[in-house]
Amino acid sequence: MIVLRFALFVIAVFLQPATLRAVPVTDSASLQQALQDKQTTIELNPGTYRGNVLITYSTTLNCKTGAVLDADNQGDALRITAADVTVRGCTIINWGGDLTAMNAGIFVEQQAASVQLTHNQLKGNTFGIWIDASRDALITHNRIEGNLDIRSQDRGNGIHLYAAQGANVAHNEVWYTRDGIYIDTSNGNRLHNNHLHHLRYGVHYMYSHHNEVSHNRTHHTRTGYALMQSKHLQVFGNQSDQDENYGILMNFITDSHLHHNRISNVQTGSNPTGAATITGAEGKALFIYNSVFNIIENNYFQSSDLGIHLTAGSEDNRISGNAFIHNRQQVKYVSNRTQEWSYAERGNYWSDYLGWDRNQNGVGDTAYEPNDAMDKLLWTYPLARLLINSPAVATLRWIQQAFPVLRPPGVQDSYPLMAPIAQAQGVTP
> Residue 374: exposed, middle, or buried by beta-carbon count in 10 A (0-12, 13-18, 19+)?
middle
| Rounded Cα gap, residues 32 and 27, in angstroms | 9
- What is the full DSSP assignment across 252-302? EEES-EEES-EEE--BPPP-TT-PPPPTT---EEEEEES-BS-EEES-EEE
> Which helix (H) or strand (E) is 68 found in, with range?
strand 67-70
- What is the full DSSP assignment across 123-151? E-SSEEEEEES-BS-EEES-EEE--TTS-
Cα of first residue to Cα of last residue in the chain, in angstroms, is: 63
Q: Contact at 8 Å (CB) between 134 and 107?
A: no
What pLDDT does 14 receive? 44
DSSP designation for 359: T
User: pLDDT for 187-239, tens place per residue?
Assistant: 999 999 999 999 999 999 999 999 999 999 999 999 999 999 999 999 999 99
| Rounded Cα gap, residues 261 and 227, in angstroms | 14
Instruction: Tell me the whole-structure pTM to 2 decimals.
Output: 0.87
What pLDDT does 187 receive? 98
Nearest to 108, CA basis, from 68, 53, 64: 53
The 3-class secondary structure across 150-169, one letter per residue, is: CCHHHCCCCEEEECCECCEE
What pLDDT does 11 receive? 45
Q: Contact at 8 Å (CB) between 322 and 330?
A: no
What pLDDT does 338 receive? 79
Nearest to 225, CA basis, from 270, 269, 258: 258
Q: Contact at 8 Å (CB) between 219 and 240?
A: yes
Mark the ranges of the chain whose per-residue pLDDT is less than 70.
1-21, 270-281, 334-335, 372-390, 392-409, 422-429
Helix, strand or coil, per DSSP, at residue 86: strand
What pLDDT does 179 receive? 98
| Rounded Cα gap, residues 194 and 338, in angstroms | 39
